[in-house]
Amino acid sequence: MKSEQFIMIGLVVAILIGIVAVFVASGNPDGLESTALVVQDQKALLGDTPDDAEIHEEEEGRFAYESPFPDYTMGEDGGKMGELAVIVLGTIIALILAFAIGKVAMAKKS
């Protein structure tokens, strides 16, 4: 199999996984968000996340930024189509960045 075919198949598989994830992903935070809520006593370790739970971040003197697509959405108006667009866009951007980094690394070896 040629490397171009391998990359295209990988891209298609990654996009399909992203599309399926939009419809099967949990609405409750997990991972780092859940841990932050537990540490801040806003939820029980094994319990559901309360609707009014909110992560409190200390920004003074620390790096902070505004995400272009918070929570992988295009805002309230985007709906599921907005989530799909963000996932596909993010997958393509990640592939382009990985490809560019690989090219730079290969150029430095030569």
Note the pTM of the prediction, 2 decimals.
0.61
Residue 57 pLDDT: 67
CA distance 93 to 86: 10
d(CA 59, CA 75): 23
pLDDT digits (tens, 9 = 90+) for 7-63: 889 889 998 998 888 788 766 656 777 777 887 777 777 777 777 777 766 666 666
Task: Give the whole-angstrom CA distance, residue 63 versus residue 33.
Answer: 18
Model confidence pLDDT, tens digit, residues 86-107: 888 888 899 899 989 999 998 8
Q: At what angle do helices 3-24 and 79-109 cross, to 10 degrees?
A: 150
DSSP annotation of 50: P
Name the CA dihedral angle for 33, 37, 43, 45, rounded to a multiple of 10 degrees: 70
* Residue 100: predicted pLDDT: 93
